[in-house]
Structure formats: C-alpha cells, structure tokens
Chain A
Amino acid sequence: MTCKKLRRYIFVILCILFLTGCADIRNRASPDALAVSGNLLAVHISGQDGTVTAECDPLQFPDAVSAAAGAKISAGHISVLMLSEDPARILPAYLQNGWIAPTAQVISAADAVALLNSDPPSAEDIRAAADTGQIPPRTADTVLGDLLGGSGVTALTAPAENGFRLDLWDDAGFCGALPESACRGLALLCGRYCTFTAADADCCFTVDHAKPEIHAEMYGDILQISVSGTFRCGMRRGSLSDAERLLSTMLTAALSESVTKHGADLLQLRERAGAGRYSRTAWRSVLQSAAFSTDITVTAGG
C-alpha cells in the first residue's frame, strides 16, 4: 500500500473516530430512574447518590434535567419510569424520542417524586414479582399498546404493602386498583412467570405446568370470554379441589375486575375476538358488558 493511500485510509478512520458523537461521553449523565409528578421531574443518575429535580413540562425532560444536573443527559437507559400522571400523555412522546426503552418498567404512584426520593423499587424487584406470578409484566410498550390498540385502559405496576399490585389508568386518569387475586389471575393468564406458588388457609401449592387457553368470540355486540385449561400442581398442603377453587377464584377475579368492571383489555381480547372494527371507547363498553366463564382442571404434579 502506498503512503498516499495509507494516509487517505487513516484520514477516513480518524473521521469515523472523531465524528461518532461519543467524544463527550464522560461529561454525560445517564439516568436509570425517572419520576414525573405533574410538572415536577426527578431523576436518579447511575453511579450517583440522591436525585436531581427539575420543574418543567414533562415533555421537555432532557433539556430541563440537563440544566438542573449541569451535564448533558443521555436518555434511553431509563429502566424505571414512575408516574403520577396520565401515561397516555407521557409515554408516546418518551418512546418516540427514545428517552425510555420499550422494555422499561412503568410504575404508578400517588407521588412519584416522593417515591423516587424515598425507597423506589428497582426494575429487578418488579421483574422478580413478574417471575413469581405476583403481577403480569407491564413494560412501557405493553402499557402504550393497551392505550393505543386496546380499550384505552391500561394497567401500571404499583408498589403495595406486600409487593406489587396493578393500578388501572384511562384517559381521565387513575380509575382503580386491582386486588391481589386479580393480579395473580392475570399473571396466570399471561403465562410469563417462572414459578407460581399460591396459598390460602386451606392449601398451598406450586403450579408446575399450566396451559390456560383464552377464547373470545363476538356474538353480535356481545363478547363471550371463556378460559379453560389444565393446571398441574405440586401440592404441599390441602387437596386438588382446594387448588382448583383457589385458581378459579384468581381467574374469575382477573376477568371480573379488569374486563367487566373497568373495561381493560390486558389479555389481547380484541385480537382474539377479531374485533378491530370497534373504536377504543366502543370496545371498552363491549368489554364491560362481556360474559365470561372459567373451566379449569387441576392435576397432581411433582
């Protein structure tokens, strides 16, 4: 290779190295948790103690926080977003601009900034709750999907006394919280848990293998939902009929609380029923007047 050619290639390589936009990476702050409460924003920056607070429109997030933190913000690595706000106002812009990853955990809190400043749950805590079947996984893309393509009602993870629960939000704001049994029923139906242990006064068991099937069918404007399937349970205490009763209670609570009471479509019922023609409001009404049934079989496992 001649010296002239070599110089040309070195020039191109140097251009690539200097123009990557990563030169100022050391001066950037990378937040891992963000709380939005009205016009008050708070971020926790990776590797730093305490939080940085800014008062501004939440849609001006990076500029305002950059000014408050005194360093450029490298968004996109936020793994937990805490909201006291309508998620429909915040999430589309945040995802569109790449300020949060679609797999970020979204948490609902009465005062998100106070939660971030006190004892905020980590993304790992929430994932662990989903892995043990306490709640179904509720990441940013799932939440936004419910708002855009479901019935306009979505569920956000919320800290509870003994772990986590789900809070429901619609266009008008917070519209209710799901009880523990409904959250566990939804986790069962979503099937994304690793281990599922349930207990009450009469029984204690672990679900070894579950194959719940959700059927949704439209009869005119009436939606009929039926849940069936076989659950193989390893019994520690109580009988199989006790386990069947407890699982049925969870599944019924999931459907009655989320679907018929609040009109939330967290189980892709619109797609299952092929009901793409309904508007979000109309679909919510259809869900609220839906009929459902559960028919499960419990067998003994290891």
Chain B
Amino acid sequence: MPQISVTQGIALAVLCRLAAFLTDPCGYTAPFALGTFLAVCSQLLLVLLLCKIRLPQFLRILSGAAAVVWAGVLCLRLHRLLCVLHAPVPLVTLGLLLVTVCLMLRHPFAAAARTAAVFLMLSAAALILLPVSTVGTAEPVYLHMHGDLFGGFLCAWAISGDLFLLVPLLRRTKTPDARRILTGWSIGCGLVIPAVILLGTMQNGRLLGFGGAPFFMLLARTPLSDALRTDGFWLLLAVSLTALSAAALVQNAFIEMRDRE
C-alpha cells in the first residue's frame, strides 16, 4: 500500500478539483460561490460518513470504475476548454496528454503524489498573485447580482469527481493524517475556489458565462494578460493538472482493486 505525506494527499485531492474547476463553463456569480461553498460542506459530511462505515465490495469496485470514468471526463473537459480558447491543434494536445498519462501510469502512485505536491505550491503561488493583479479592475458592486444558488450547488457537485480519489485515500491513511488531508481539501475546495469565483464575479459580472471559460475570462481582465492568448501559464497548468489528476485517479482505482484482491 503506497504511503504518501499529508501535503501530497492534500495536493492530489485539491488539484483534481482545481483541474475540473479550471475547465468549468458555469458563469460566476456571488450566489454561485455560496452554492459551491455549501456543496463542499455537504461533500465534507458525505466523506466523513463514507470514511466511518465499511463499504461493501461492489461499491468499492463501482467507485474505482467511477474514478476511471472521471479521469476520462477530465480529459474531455480539457479538450472542450482548448477548443473554446482556440488553442492550436486541441486534438494533438489531447493525444500528448494521453501519452503523458500512460507514461505516468508506469510510475508508482507516490511519484504522482510527489509531482502533485510541487504543482500545489505552483498553483498556490499563482492563485496568490491573482487577486493582486485583479484588484485594480474589480467592481464589488457585481457581488449584489442575482444568481442561482442551487445552480452553483449543482455545478460544484458536477465537478466533484475528486471524491473518488479522496475517500479511498483517506480510508488508507492513518486517522490524524487523514484529518489533516480532509482539512486541507476543505480549505482548498470550500474557501479558495469560492473566493476565486467571487473575484471573477467582480471582474466580469455582466458577462455571466460568456465565452464558456469563465476562469480565463477573469484572467483576460487582469493587467498581467492584456491579450487572450497570454494566459499560457494557466492553460499549461490546466493541461498539467488534468494529466496528473487523470493518472492519479486511474492509479488509485487500480490500488483499490489490488487491495480488494
């Protein structure tokens, strides 16, 4: 059974959600952010429950299969994002991504976990810079906009495939470490992501969902990226996180199957 550190566990769980979030087409509003927060609260309760009870074998197999399916969904979402952003040759990028995933699958799970820890630091640094660069163009008045709270709740559930990675990971980890991983995941998904949504709302309040890539629309308003196609860092990060998450999800599913045997 592969042993990973707390940081690596948090990184795997959070980055899997971040990969789905970066490719999400749902438009940002303040109620959407609140819906996301509430969804993560409900997911936290579900995770706690699933970690306490003993899951029947067929549910564990189902969870493993769902993790593999979610890995595929992440790749398709990335392809959609590349098309929306008019990235050159999206199909070739997808092909290269699949090659990368296959290469990663040949390495042990701990390698993916170590890589995730590095990417977590990188993502955290970039997310810290984001509000600094957007502060000049933010309009807090857009936070008063009407929006769909339940829609936000559902959208957050729709990108919660990371639970198929998180729950088995927590079940395999010692209790104090599991608690820390869960706390880190809750902060990342329940506080940081809604904060980014609020930031996006303040930037593009009236262009709700326009363009199909709200996160990249938020970046387009920042002084650091005056043209659409200088968002290279985030696009590269989205590709990397998708590859990493897909590989981690599949490897984790295999580990679950092996443990069952």
Instruction: Please list the residues of chain A having a beta carbon within 8 angstroms of any beta carbon in chain B.
Output: 12, 15-16, 19-22, 76-77, 79, 92, 95-98, 101-103, 141, 144-146, 148-150, 268, 271-272, 274, 276-277
State whether the Cβ of B85 lies closer than 8 Å to any Cβ in chain A.
Answer: yes
* Contact present for B227 and A101 (CB under 8 Å): yes
**How many angstroms between the C-alpha atoms of A92 and B142 in the bound complex?**
20
With A15-B96, A20-B88, A98-B86: A145-B227 Cβ-Cβ less than 8 Å: no
State whether the Cβ of B124 lies closer than 8 Å to any Cβ in chain A.
Answer: no
Cβ 8 A contact of B141, one of A76, A148, A268? A268
* Contact present for B206 and A76 (CB under 8 Å): no
Please tell me which stretch of B9-17, B171-179, B207-215, B240-248 contacts chain A, meaning at least 4 of its Cβ atoms lie within 8 angstroms of it. B207-215
**How many angstroms between the C-alpha atoms of A100 and B221 in the bound complex?**
13
* Contact present for A103 and B221 (CB under 8 Å): yes
Closest Cβ of chain B to A266, distance in Å, is 11
Across the two chains, which residue of chain A brings its CB closest to B103? A12
With A20-B88, A98-B85: A276-B146 Cβ-Cβ less than 8 Å: yes
Cβ 8 A contact of A19, one of B92, B207, B226, B229? B92
State whether the Cβ of B205 lies closer than 8 Å to any Cβ in chain A.
Answer: yes
Q: How large is the interface on B (under 10, 10 to 19, 20 to 34, 35 or more residues)?
A: 20 to 34
State whether the Cβ of B107 lies closer than 8 Å to any Cβ in chain A.
Answer: no
Residues of chain A contacted by B144 (CB below 8 angstroms): 271-272, 274
User: Which residues of B80-98 have CB atoms within 8 Å of chain A's CB atoms?
Assistant: 85-89, 92-93, 96
Residues of chain B contacted by A21 (CB below 8 angstroms): 87-89
**How many angstroms between the C-alpha atoms of A182 and B27 in the bound complex?**
33
29 contacts between A and B (CB under 8 A): A20-B89, A21-B89, A77-B227, A77-B229, A95-B210, A98-B85, A98-B86, A98-B228, A101-B228, A102-B207, A102-B217, A102-B221, A102-B228, A103-B221, A103-B227, A141-B204, A141-B217, A141-B220, A144-B206, A144-B207, A145-B205, A145-B206, A148-B210, A149-B205, A150-B206, A268-B142, A268-B205, A272-B144, A276-B145
With A272-B144, A274-B144: A146-B206 Cβ-Cβ less than 8 Å: yes
Closest Cβ of chain A to B172, distance in Å, is 31
**How many angstroms between the C-alpha atoms of A276 and B85 in the bound complex?**
29
* Contact present for A22 and B88 (CB under 8 Å): yes
* Contact present for A103 and B141 (CB under 8 Å): no
* Contact present for B146 and A103 (CB under 8 Å): no
* Contact present for B206 and A148 (CB under 8 Å): yes
Residues of chain B contacted by A77 (CB below 8 angstroms): 227, 229
Closest Cβ of chain A to B115, distance in Å, is 16
Residues of chain B contacted by A145 (CB below 8 angstroms): 204-207
